[in-house]
Structure formats: C-alpha cells, structure tokens
Chains A and B, each alone.
Chain A
Amino acid sequence: MFDIAGRRFWFFLISGVVILIGIISLATFGLKTGIEFSSGSRLRISFDEQKVSQDQLKQELANLGYPNAIIQSEIRPTGPGDFLIRTRELMGEDKAQLEAGLTAEFGHLTEKEFGGVSPEVATETARNAAIAVAVAAIGILLYITWAFRRMPSPFRYGTCAIVALLHDMLVVLGIFSILSGILDWEINLMFITGVLAVIGYSVNNTVVVFDRIRENLTKGVSSNFEVVVNNSLVETLSRSLNTSLTTLIVVLALLLFVGASIQNFAVVLLIGIVAGTYSSLCIAPQLLLVWERGEWGRFIRRLPAAKAKGG
C-alpha cells in the first residue's frame, strides 16, 4: 500500500515552493487587468469594398498588436454594417497606425466615430469577487464543521478545507501571474469566472476525502490516525484522479476547440483542478494529521527557510 501520509512534509515543501514562486511573481509582475476593467478607446469603422468578417478583423487586430480588442459588428437587414472596436487607450500615433494597418489588409475604411470610453466592468468587480470568495469560505467552514460534528474537534476539518482552498487560490493566482508576465495575458471576466469555479471544485474534492476519514474513524480501522488518513487517501485515490481526469477532459476540449476567447477561463480551471486535486490529497488531510499530532514544531524545523519567506 502507498504511504501517502508519511510524505506529508515533502508535499508541504512542494506547495510552499510553488506558492513562494507565485508570490514573488505576483510581487514583480503583478496581475495585469484587461481592457474590460480600464478605460480605453472606441472606434467605429466601416470597410468600403471587401466583406470583412468579425474573425478576420480580430485576427488582423491581434497582428497589429491588439490581441485583447473587443469587436462587435452592427447587424443590418442589408448585411453587415459598421464594426465597433474597443481597444486599450489609443495614444498619439496609435490610431493612425491601427487604421493604416487595417487599410493595408482590408482596403479603404471610413472612420465614423472615435472616442474614449469608461471601463466596461466596474473596477469593483474584481474586489467584489474577492468578497464573494471570502464569504463563501466562511460558509464552507461552518458547514464542514457541522457535517463533521460527531468527530473529535470538527472545527479542524473545516479549517483544513479552507486552508486547502486558499492554497488553490494562491497557486492559481501565482501561476497565472507568471503566465501573464511571460505571455502578456490579462485578467478579464473569464478569469474571475474561472477562479469562482475553482472554489467549488476544490472544496468538493476535499470533502470526499474527509468523508472517507470520517467513515474509517467510525469503523475503527486503526487507532493510529496516520494509518486511518493514509488508508482513506489510498481508498479515494482512484476516485479523486478519475474525477479530475473527466473534468480536465472537458476543460481541455474547451481550450482546444474554442480557443483564445475562453483561454483564461480554461487555463485557470486547468491550474485549479490540478492544484485542487493535489491539495485534497496532499494538503488538507495531511494538515489534519499534523494538527492532530501537534507536529507544528517538527514541521517548522524541517522547512525553516522556505516557509518563513512564503509566509
């Protein structure tokens, strides 16, 4: 039988390192907010000759350095009408260059309207999502504490599930910040949706593992808590991996077949599912064990440097 529980300090070390790198990246790169959150420019144009499709225009705008532009076309009974293009703020020569680039590709265009616009999504949305996450975490804590009320110290189960949730959030934010630093990705509404989805996923997984621990404790499998935790992990391992796999399949399908427009959502979910599976097996139950045995001292001695910085 695998000894998962025995390697708990390695798991903490791995998580600590990943989170530490993430936090360093967050501190240096930060998270870039997308044009939905900032004010920008709005351009209304029509092309004289060619019939240009929305996708062609999006592609060309990406080539011209505006991969995040939001494009809408006007629907007219007589066929496609003007294009409404929302970009980051166009300063000085930007607009002329943009229009020259489009003219070179699609022929002569007429500019019908140009001006600045306020953010589409209130800046508060990101902060609001954070509030939502915090309140949801409290709700989860209360329910899990209640669901495990017959266990000794049920509050620990709730707390460990929340720590696992925070772990997943930090991993997602950290890795996304690295990606956004390297690939120039921006935070948008899809990102926020993805983060919300990760909460649901993370806790769901943790509770299944905890449920097995609860059952094995009630059955009296062993008087050694470490054995109980390890047995529960091994027994739920195939379920945990299978469920993650099926969810990953859907997310990968979205990423491959829908592509750029849903990329942020899919990538956040991808990271979140891997982190969530990992934390439900290697963080939440192990924390429970460490707490039960009062091993905090040993834990800190083993990882003095990494944890002290990682906070």
Chain B
Amino acid sequence: MTRRNMLVFTTILALFAFAICTLILPMFDREQIRLGLDLVGGSHLVYQAQFPEGATGEDKARAMNRALDTIRTRIDRYGVTEPIIQEQEGERILVQLPGFTDIEAAKSLVEQTGFLEFREVELNNGNPVYLGDYLENPNPEFFNKGEDGTRIFVDENGNPIAFLIKDEEDVLIYTDEAGNPIDLEEVKRRAEEVLSEAVPGSWALLSWILARGDDGTQLTGGFLKEARPSITTGITAEPEVAIEWNEEGGIIFDDIAERLYSRPSESPERCIGIFLDNILISSPQIIEPAYHGSGVITGNFTIEEVEHLANLLESGALPMPLQKPPLYEEMVSATLGADFIDMSIKAGIIGIILIMLFMIIYYRLPGVLASLALIFYGTVVLALFKLIPVTLTLAGIGGFVLSIGMAVDANVLIFERMKEELRTGRTLGAAIETGFNRAWTAIRDSNITTFIVCGILYWLGKNIVASAPVMGFALTLFIGVAVSMFTAIVVTRTLLRLFVGTRLAQRTSLFSVYSGRR
C-alpha cells in the first residue's frame, strides 16, 4: 500500500463525505434536487386572450401561435425547464411552470405584453403640447392634425394617467389604461395630483404622439433585431440595454432622429419617448442626426432590470394583451402521480442492490469493491444534480437510470481484463495495473462516443429543435457517464490497490480465478 494510494483514498473519502453533506444539507438555497412539472407540479395559469374587435378566425389563430412562441421564449430565457404552454379553445392560454412556487413572479413573466413603441412630443406651432392645452380647449381637436393616433400623458415616473383617442365619430375622448372612457373631471383630478407632486420645469403631462418614419411607418419593437444588456461607457457605469435595428427599423429611426435633431437642444421636443406597455421607461435626447441602426435604452435601471428588459424585448411583444387577473392561478400536482418519485427511488435502490449481488457473486472481491464504487457513484451523481442544478424530469431520470446500468460497465471491462492477467500468473499488483491499462482504450472510446451523443443532443435540444426533454436527457446521461468513468478508473483502482501486498491478494479465488487454471 503506497503512500500515494492512501492519499487518493483519503481524497475519495472526503469527496464522498462532501457529496453526502450536499444531499442532506440545504445548499445555495436549495433544499432538494430540482424536479420538473411531471414529477412535482408547479404553477398553473390560464389566461383569456383579448383579441381586437373584428379579428377574423385566421387573425386569431396567427396571433395565438405567435403568443405561444413569445411566452415560450420568455420562459425559456428565464431558465424554467420543461414548461407546458398550450392553447385552449383558441382563446385561452394555459401555462404550467414546474417547481415555480412564486406565482406572482410567474404571472409577471407571462402577463407583460412587452409592447415597445417609440413616441415624440406633439408640437403646436413649434411649442410642446401639454395635457393642460387640451383641457383648456373647450372643443378639442388634435393640435397636430397630421397624426391621428393615441396621445399618452404620463406622470413623473412615466406611468400613464390618461390616453386621448379619437373615437368612431371623430370625437376626442379620454380613456384609462384599460381603454374605458373617463370624464373630464377625473382627468383634471388626475392631472392636478400629478402637478402637485411635480417639481417645477418637469416634463410631466406632455402629449406623446407616435413617432413615425418619413413614409408614415410607426416605429415599434417589431423592428428590433437584437437587444442585450450592456453598461454605459461614460464616467459612471450605468446598466443600459443596447439595441440593434433591422434594416427597415434603422431607416425609420434615422428619419425620426434627423427630424428631432433639428429641434432646440435640452428641450422636451428633442427627446424620443421609449414606451413599454404604455409606460414611459426612458426619454433620451437625440444627440446625433443619424444612428445607423444601433442605439441604447438608458434609464434608472438596475442590472436585473436591464437583463429583464433585454429579454422582454428580444422575445418580442405579445400580439394581443391577456386579461388580468388570469382565469385560473394555482399550484398543481405532478402529472405522473404523487408517488412516482418514491416508486422510482425504490426501483433504483432495488436495481442497485441486484446489480451488487450479481457483481459480488460473479467477480467476488472486486465485485464487493465495485459495489462500494457504485454507492459512491450514485451519491456523487445525485449531489451534482443538486449542485449544478439539474432539473430532474422523467427524461432526466431515464438518463440517470441508464447510466447506473452503464456505471458498472467500466468495472466489468477492467475486471475481465484483470482475470485474464491473473490467469497468466501475474501478481495482483501487476494484474491490476495491466488490467486497467488494457481496458483503458475501450473505456475511453466507448465513453467518448457517448459524450459526443450527449453533446450533440444537448446542442440540438438547446439551439435547433428546442426540446427540453432532449436536453435533460443529454445532461443527466453526460454527468452519469463522466462520473462512472471517474469511479471505475480512480475509485475502484484505489480500493483494489489497498489489497496489494496483503495476504488476501494471494488467494486468487477471491478474484474468481482458480489456481488450477494458472
């Protein structure tokens, strides 16, 4: 027994102890291994879609498909694995998020429409128009008659307090955020509330109109090619969202920039208003006449907020709003039945015990050591699942089970080689080393092919075919095979070496090699 071997042995014991602690103690705020919806249940939400009036069945179907895609993209970006997103009755959207116990967070993830539009300040003879200008006018008409779209008035924090729209009879009416008409008194009351809190010279209650390109196309988030979190390159590093327009969007934006650039600097009418779901999130000054397709959204953001905003913009806007609150919001149980996990664990343990019995009967002493290695294997793999963390779903359990069966494979390969060497009359020490060396190429090549399969499946599952079960399977099988290689090559060999030079090593029958055959 060499000193080096003792050192490795101690390291293995320490690793094993660490793995057990990982499984028992809560770590990184995780009490248990993360489980998928099929195993644990999670948040269940059903939303009613609000289609615009007069939408045809075809329009609705198209909007519905896009909405499902958009919600799926957002949830995937958020890192929830294997969500269920379904259409119900053509009008409702069902979302189930596995293990998502924070139902409010789940709702905000789904509900946010993510509708990004760009607005500019309405002008009247070159002066900015405020809500007051409309309210003072007894027989109101839009000041800018060329622009018929909605006017939005926001408070100091950018939240909308009123909308001014032209109804079917060409009469201007005020509405609230849900589109319900509100009377003049209410608008005045809201305006006063805002003004009483506003600091002098504030730009609150400006009339924001849609920003359009020279050909009249409205600039929206639909023209975005890319949005990613970034940091300002100024004296202070502020989180911001860097955006990239597609070709058409770049042209429209430059049309608008050129127009606003000609207005007096430091004035509100030189700003472009960035509205997300009708909330003014930022109103930067136009400081160049042309931006050539790129730009940034700055504001008083935290890093988390810019990440969220970039995700929201990248995943795109929902084609229609969803009715709030959802029709149903609740926690639901697993689809596979509550005792599926218990039964799987039972099956796994019975399987492992049977494998151990087989290994011990067939390979004797090495079989006992391989059994110990198998226990080590199971513990370390589960600990890794918890640490990484891997969301365990049915597909993942499949990968794990397969890897248990294959975990002994490397041991079997080595022991068969050892037996061959012992039969030729080598000592145990020599047989161990030759057996391991000879088995190595087979273990390496067979496992590398499995790794390649895992890598390809994972990459495909993530990028091309967007299939969470495929990814889950690939990840668990990869971890399983990697740990099993380590177990066979390091753990079993170290345990075997402990016997070299002891009296037990002389008794070849312990290694199921009988002296008669030598």
Contacts from A to B (Cβ < 8 Å): 42, 54-55, 58, 70-76, 81, 84, 115-120, 124-125, 128-129, 131-132, 135-136, 139-140, 143-144, 147, 189-190, 192-194, 196-197, 199-201, 203-205, 207-208, 210-212, 214-215, 235-236, 238-239, 242-243, 245-254, 256-259, 261-262, 265, 269
A89 and B271 CA atoms in complex are apart in Å by 55
Chain A residue nearest to B409 in the complex (CB): A243
B259: min CB distance to chain A, Å: 44
Check if B449 sits within 8 Å of A144, measured CB to CB. yes
Check if A243 sits within 8 Å of B406, measured CB to CB. yes
A and B contact pairs by CB, cutoff 8 A, 21 listed:
A71-B335, A128-B470, A129-B467, A135-B460, A136-B457, A147-B448, A196-B470, A197-B402, A204-B447, A208-B446, A211-B446, A212-B442, A242-B416, A246-B355, A246-B359, A248-B405, A249-B358, A250-B352, A254-B348, A254-B351, A261-B337
Q: From B26-34, B84-92, B188-196, B292-300, give the one contacting chain A.
A: B84-92
Q: A193-B398, A197-B402, A243-B408 are in contact. Are A203 and B449 (CB under 8 A)?
A: yes
Partner pick for A193 among B395, B447, B449, CB 8 A cutoff: B395
Q: Which residues of A contact B450 (CB under 8 A)?
A: 200, 203-204
20 more A-B residue pairs beyond the given contacts A207-B442, A210-B445, A249-B354, with a C-beta to C-beta distance below 8 A: A71-B337, A72-B333, A73-B332, A76-B330, A84-B44, A84-B332, A124-B465, A136-B456, A139-B455, A193-B395, A200-B453, A201-B406, A203-B450, A239-B412, A243-B406, A247-B402, A253-B350, A253-B351, A257-B346, A265-B394
A55 and B334 CA atoms in complex are apart in Å by 12
Q: Which residues of A contact B404 (CB under 8 A)?
A: 250
With most chain A CB atoms within 10 A of its CB, the pick from B92, B334, B336, B354 is: B336
Q: Which residues of A contact B94 (CB under 8 A)?
A: 117
Partner pick for B469 among A73, A139, A189, A250, CB 8 A cutoff: A189
Q: Per-residue CB proximity of B435-456 to A under 8 Å, as 1/0? A: 0001001100111111011111
Interface of A is mostly: helix
A96 and B398 CA atoms in complex are apart in Å by 38
A193: min CB distance to chain B, Å: 4
With most chain B CB atoms within 10 A of its CB, the pick from A132, A143, A192, A250 is: A250
Check if A215 sits within 8 Å of B441, measured CB to CB. yes
Check if B330 sits within 8 Å of A74, measured CB to CB. yes
Check if A139 sits within 8 Å of B456, measured CB to CB. yes
Check if B395 sits within 8 Å of A200, measured CB to CB. no
A143 and B299 CA atoms in complex are apart in Å by 51
Contacts from B to A (Cβ < 8 Å): 41, 44, 84, 86-89, 92, 94, 330-340, 343-344, 346-348, 350-352, 354-355, 358-359, 362, 394-395, 398-399, 401-402, 404-406, 408-409, 412-413, 416, 420, 438, 441-442, 445-450, 452-457, 460-461, 464-467, 469-470, 473-474, 477
Partner pick for B401 among A58, A124, A143, A251, CB 8 A cutoff: A251
A57 and B330 CA atoms in complex are apart in Å by 20
Check if A74 sits within 8 Å of B449, measured CB to CB. no
Interface of B is mostly: helix
Q: Which residues of A contact B334 (CB under 8 A)?
A: 72
A78: min CB distance to chain B, Å: 12
Q: Which residues of A contact B88 (CB under 8 A)?
A: 42, 115-118
Q: Which residues of A contact B442 (CB under 8 A)?
A: 207-208, 211-212
A200 and B484 CA atoms in complex are apart in Å by 14
A204 and B416 CA atoms in complex are apart in Å by 17
A72 and B44 CA atoms in complex are apart in Å by 10
Chain B residue nearest to A201 in the complex (CB): B402
Q: Which residues of B contact A135 (CB under 8 A)?
A: 456, 460
A227 and B89 CA atoms in complex are apart in Å by 66
Q: Which residues of A contact B398 (CB under 8 A)?
A: 190, 193-194, 197, 265, 269
Check if A207 sits within 8 Å of B446, measured CB to CB. yes
Q: Which residues of A contact B331 (CB under 8 A)?
A: 74-75
